[in-house]
Structure 1
Amino acid sequence: MTHGFWGTVQGDGECTFRLWAPQASRVELVLNGQPRPMDRQEGGVWTLKTMAEPGDSYLFRIGGQDMPDPAGHLQAGDVHGPSVVTAPDRFDWRADWQGRPWDEAVIYELHVGCFTEEGTFNAAAKRMSYLADLGFTAVELMPVGQFPGQRGWGYDGVLPFAPHPAYGTPDDLKMLVDAAHQAGLMVILDLVMNHFGPDGAWLHHSSPDFFNPDRQTPWGASIDFSQDAVRDFWVSCAQHWLVEYRMDGLRLDAVHQISGPGADGFMADLATSVHALSPRRHLITEDERNIPDLREKMGYDATWNDDFHHAVHVALTGESDSYYANFAVDPIGDLALALSRGHIEEGQPRASEERRGKPSGHLSPTTFVNSTQTHDQVGNRAHGDRLLTLADPQAVAVMHALLLVSPYIPMVFMGEERGETNPFQFFADFSGDLGAAVRKGRAAEFAGIAALGDAVPDPLSTKTFQRSKLGWREDGPAQSWLDLTRRALAFRKRHVVPLLKSGLLSSDVTRPEPQLLHAEWRFEGGRLALSLALGQPDPAPLQDPNLHFGRPDAPYSLTVKALA
């Protein structure tokens, strides 16, 4: 893979080192401790072709300051130290993998450090057959690009081409992907292209033109996508993970912050380059704008649908603070909209004055990724509470079943399939003034919420990280949840996926009583119907259903039926 502006390109014992530093007057390559001047080329890219071997360490020196390669594939240590020359892919891939169609996706979101006690790629690899046996068809890895320290969510990454060393080596990550493919699972990587973390983003030193000084994101300086070198950096990064690591797709974090001149063109170019790969790769976005454009005009496969989550969460917990306020007026009515159209907020008047979204109900159900829990919605709570600790367990179980059998793409947050109650809390490993600021900021964020009780967990404490690991219980409740997940996903595979493949014709969601919803989707290949009780027994559940969750006379129940 060739980079126009960035990275190390190998061939026949020679390496071409590249760095885009348009404002620099001199750049040196420090290879194994020996500085060598680099040559300035057109467009502000500095290059040097020299003999180098895999395992050699290198830095770039600009203005007397040594820095790692922003597009380096491996670090010798932390984010401030030398980068390492790596060999072309020599991993012994075992899976003859040809990918999977997107309409078969059932996603399992996981954080590598918390998914297992060991918190490594190797340990996660051993759990792939477990997920496949339950009926999952894809895993989504929270960001694995290197970030400062040992532990963190990954969204403060600063070296997006390099796997985080606390999780293992590049070959360990390839082993995880290979194990997933052998089990029949796609692997989707969460990639952050909208900002860099606050510690170790050396691009500010080498390439200040990478950023737009006139605009800030909530997490730091915005990125200037009008620059050819910037677009090349991110397209190359995407290709790196998809080709070198054989990932099946990318989830792009907060694309609403990829904005300004050049942003739309970049998103189109990225989709074109990714979809040209064989087997076909998938692109999922997080986009709070609720607009159909990327899916409709550029071929992006799907977007996270937080509207569905918010309606479910408010219906079960009654919470109405912050962004839940818009969904607290009539959460069950909102859920009906989500089941019928995908998004709830489509530009119509809502409780808040600000209107959000555009009509998206014409899109395929497979363009919406629904969830009842995610790392964001759990971890951004003060104490990282999971839904099962906040609401009636039977109600949560019924909503879990609804998520898995409805004709939208379901995503489960790790542990949800087995009724996990351990929290998932915000944690990081910053030090010095930055660490103190993060600790202070996290406490201040929730200082005004009287119901918190205990103090907000210290995000820098290893105990916070340890509390966030899955418990892997094997008791009766865990087995009941696993049985529910297995039954629902078996139904989905047998009935829902074939209907999705045939094409949706129409949807009809009614509300016969305040806490009852009846839904029917008509496809070319048949119909899918469900009856959902959300706080009162259903007097008219579906007759002869294929599947039911909860007793018909219980306040929370779901019956589902598929007809050819």
Structure 2
Amino acid sequence: MRRVHSMPFGAEITSDGVRFALWAPTAREVSLVLDGDERLLNADHGGWYRHVSQVARAGSRYGYKIDGNLVVPDPASRFQTDDVHDLSLVVDPQSYEWSDLSWKGRPWEETVLCEVHVGTATPEGTYAGLMDKLDGYRDLGVTAIELMPIGEFPGRRNWGYDGVLPYAPDAAYGSPEDLKRLVERAHELGLMMFLDVVYNHFGPSGNYLHAYAKSFFTDRHPTPWGAGINVDGEGSRVVRDFFFHNALYWLEEYHFDGLRFDAVHAITDDGKPHFIEELATRIRQTIPDRHVHLVLENEANQARWINRDNDRKPKLHTAQWADDIHNSWHALLTGENEGYYEDYADKPLQHLGRALAEGFAYQGDPSPHKDGVVRGEPSGHLPPTAFVAFLQNHDQVGNRAFGDRLSHLIPPERLALAQALFLLSPQIPLLFMGEEWAASTPFQFFVDFENDPDLAKAVRDGRRGEFKRFKAFADPEMSQKIPDPTDRRTFEQSRIDWSETDRSPHREVLAQTRRLLDLRRTEIVPLLKSRYRGSRYRISPDDTLDVTWTFTDGTLRLVANFSGNPMNRNIEDDARVLWSSQAIDANEKTLQLPPWSGVIVKGRSA
């Protein structure tokens, strides 16, 4: 089977030849540069420049000359053999024959995500290198791999959020065919593949849209990265379609099973339907016959986008990253109170209880970190599976000055408790690569702007300046110790070391993760597939958290003592302990909970 997503952008191989199409509404003149030759193009209605070539073929190199002097790559390039500033390559997606014809994905309730950065996940740092690790992820109990953004970015190393050509899988990791083989191998093993995509901004180097499509952006909606994406003004129909087609392109042409939409709170849309709504609607209408999962990152905590219909199916998006769960856990475990942890540090256990039971801790509440700005919408009506929970991810590790993992910050006993309660709670869990064995390697912020020394210096200085508001880095001497994101060594020391899995204590942590995920598969997932009937939570004065989730097929209860004193708690006669801290006698109906210990209990539905 061959897969291709047809779109009005880019270079597309047709029966009449290769069709080239560029939207350049603010250019005075556009020429097609094709294999060394140039051809002046005529503008169609609406600022489109189109041409069908009988001489172009798969492998042809092409670009566009703007106003007689600037040669730019195709913004919808399917592949860049060199970098973001060079010519694009004509790709024939139908040259790859897929064999996963019967693959329809997996139900959302079965999802256990592992977030992966392709460049640092393996010694090779490639799609092919990652493919060799898929068996291990499958055996661990992971059911889905989520790739950090892979759209072409400047240089050879980047987190991916500086991408500027969102249709071109970055050549630093391999070819389009290598990526397709990775997806196909995952499906052979029963693993889903997710991709993180960025529709809120472009990176600072290699974005040439300003030169010929100024209306792609708008000053009406400023963002932390500059002018906002124009999704609601004049010309916005083309802009919206550029991203909608991009989402469909990854889902259809590369057969991804899900997408994670980065920071959608930074996409401002004053029109109707909202960009977020139309995005999901287009995907649902176009791909009705597969399990396709759409996940938001949304600091605004807008429950409206993840509501369910009467059949318990997502109306629009499947779930949202549950930052409130992570931030509450982190404040509770570490005691940190700077930055966004300020919103959780005053009452971390209360915030954690509400977030575990209802999804959001902030549901229309004022945020101290944002000077009292009200954030969030009521979320208690949503099932736990509407939220992706995590103890770590690329942001919360990589945005620390030294890229410290949680295992670097807290004692192993507390980490083990948090990991068990996190993996056995009913939200959809996400691990960050290496977390499964408490990897010793950090994950630090890195970029490659070697061809732009001024930008490299700005990023280096900006990174160190970013931490000056933190007490630990108020001293300029301390700030100089922050790793240089432009130094290749920062990238190299972020590469995880797989040999650790054979050594203590990492071997034992990995075994525990495997046991917990097996327990989740056999005991938790069946509950999640039944109808959700609500939750309740209680935080006692002695710092014990007690949360119960009720489903038609049973109940799930979390009880944990986070105080410095032992506590007693009773469990129901018809309930059984699925997991407990080692110091607890799980055979008793009255449980003795030592300090920093917990249990997960499963009961029958009332």
Fold match (TM-score > 0.5): yes
Return the alpha-carbon distance in structure 1 between the equivalents of residues 372 and 471 of structure 2.
Answer: 27
Output aligned runs, 1:36-75, within 5 Å. 36-51=39-54, 52-64=56-68, 65-75=70-80
The match for 2:160 is: 154
Return the alpha-carbon distance in structure 1 between the equivalents of residues 576 and 50 of structure 2.
Answer: 70
- With over 3 angstroms needed to count, the CA separation of the structure-2 counterparts of 1:544 and 1:261, relative to structure 1, is closer
Output aligned runs, 1:238-257, within 5 Å. 238-257=247-266
Does structure 1 residue 128 correspond to structure 2 residue 149? Answer: no
Does structure 1 residue 299 correspond to structure 2 residue 327? Answer: no
Task: Select which of 16, 23, 26 maps to 1:23.
Answer: 26
For residue 327 of structure 1, what is the amino acid of its counterpart?
Y
SS at match of 1:160: strand
Return the alpha-carbon distance in structure 2 between the equivalents of residues 144 and 166 of structure 1.
Answer: 9
Return the alpha-carbon distance in structure 2 between the equivalents of residues 507 and 340 of structure 1.
Answer: 6
The match for 2:396 is: 377
Task: Select which of 407, 417, 420 maps to 2:436.
Answer: 417
Task: Select which of 475, 479, 487 maps to 2:503.
Answer: 475
The match for 1:465 is: 491
Q: What is the Cα deviation at residue 512 of structure 1?
A: 3.4
Q: What is the Cα deviation at residue 341 of structure 1?
A: 0.8
SS at match of 2:306: helix
Output aligned runs, 1:525-540, within 5 Å. 525-536=553-564, 537-540=566-569
For residue 467 of structure 2, what is the amino acid of its counterpart?
F
Does structure 1 residue 265 correspond to structure 2 residue 274? Answer: yes
SS at match of 2:13: strand
Q: Deviations over 1:475-497 (max 9, x none)?
A: 12112111221121111111211
Q: Deviations over 1:467-521 (max 9, x none)?
A: 1111220212112111221121111111211111111112122223433212221
Task: Select which of 387, 390, 398 maps to 2:406.
Answer: 387
For residue 557 of structure 1, what is the amino acid of its counterpart?
S
Whether the 8 Å CA contact 2:11–2:77 is kept in 1: the answer is yes
Gapped regions of structure 2 (runs ≥ 5): 309-314, 585-592
Return the alpha-carbon distance in structure 1 between the equivalents of residues 113 and 422 of structure 2.
Answer: 11
Return the alpha-carbon distance in structure 2 between the equivalents of residues 122 and 397 of structure 1.
Answer: 32
For residue 379 of structure 2, what is the amino acid of its counterpart?
S
Whether the 8 Å CA contact 1:198–1:220 is kept in 2: the answer is no
Q: Which moved more, 1:243-252 or 1:485-494?
A: 485-494
Q: Which moved more, 1:378-387 or 1:268-277?
A: 268-277
Task: Name segments (4+ residues, structure 1) moved above 4 Å.
Answer: 349-352, 541-544
Does structure 1 residue 364 correspond to structure 2 residue 383? Answer: yes
- With over 3 angstroms needed to count, the CA separation of the structure-2 counterparts of 1:422 and 1:380, relative to structure 1, is same
Q: Deviations over 1:361-385 (max 9, x none)?
A: 1111111111111100111111111
SS at match of 1:545: strand
For residue 265 of structure 1, what is the amino acid of its counterpart?
H
Whether the 8 Å CA contact 2:576–2:602 is kept in 1: the answer is no
Q: Deviations over 1:299-335 (max 9, x none)?
A: 2001111101111001011110111111111101111
For residue 190 of structure 2, what is the amino acid of its counterpart?
G
Q: Deviations over 1:164-206 (max 9, x none)?
A: 1110100111111111111111111000001000100011112
SS at match of 1:172: helix
The match for 2:347 is: 330
Task: Select which of 356, 379, 384 maps to 1:339.
Answer: 356
SS at match of 1:546: strand
For residue 83 of structure 1, what is the amino acid of its counterpart?
S
SS at match of 1:363: coil
The match for 1:456 is: 482
TM-score normalised according to structure 2 size: 0.90
For residue 65 of structure 2, what is the amino acid of its counterpart?
R
Does structure 1 residue 493 correspond to structure 2 residue 521? Answer: yes
SS at match of 1:502: coil
How many residue pairs match? The answer is: 563
Provide the identity percentage: 42
Does structure 1 residue 92 correspond to structure 2 residue 118? Answer: no
- With over 3 angstroms needed to count, the CA separation of the structure-2 counterparts of 1:538 and 1:475, relative to structure 1, is farther
Return the alpha-carbon distance in structure 2 between the equivalents of residues 73 and 350 of structure 1.
Answer: 42
The match for 2:311 is: none
Gapped regions of structure 1 (runs ≥ 5): none
Q: What is the Cα deviation at residue 262 of structure 1?
A: 4.0
SS at match of 1:43: coil
Q: What is the Cα deviation at residue 448 of structure 1?
A: 4.5
For residue 3 of structure 1, what is the amino acid of its counterpart?
M
Return the alpha-carbon distance in structure 2 between the equivalents of residues 173 and 142 of structure 1.
Answer: 13
Q: Which moved more, 1:348-357 or 1:465-474?
A: 348-357
Q: Deviations over 1:344-396 (max 9, x none)?
A: 01013565522211111111111111111110011111111111111122111
Output aligned runs, 1:434-453, within 5 Å. 434-451=455-472, 453=478
- With over 3 angstroms needed to count, the CA separation of the structure-2 counterparts of 1:514 and 1:436, relative to structure 1, is same
For residue 87 of structure 1, what is the amino acid of its counterpart?
D
The match for 1:558 is: 598
Q: What is the Cα deviation at residue 152 of structure 1?
A: 0.7
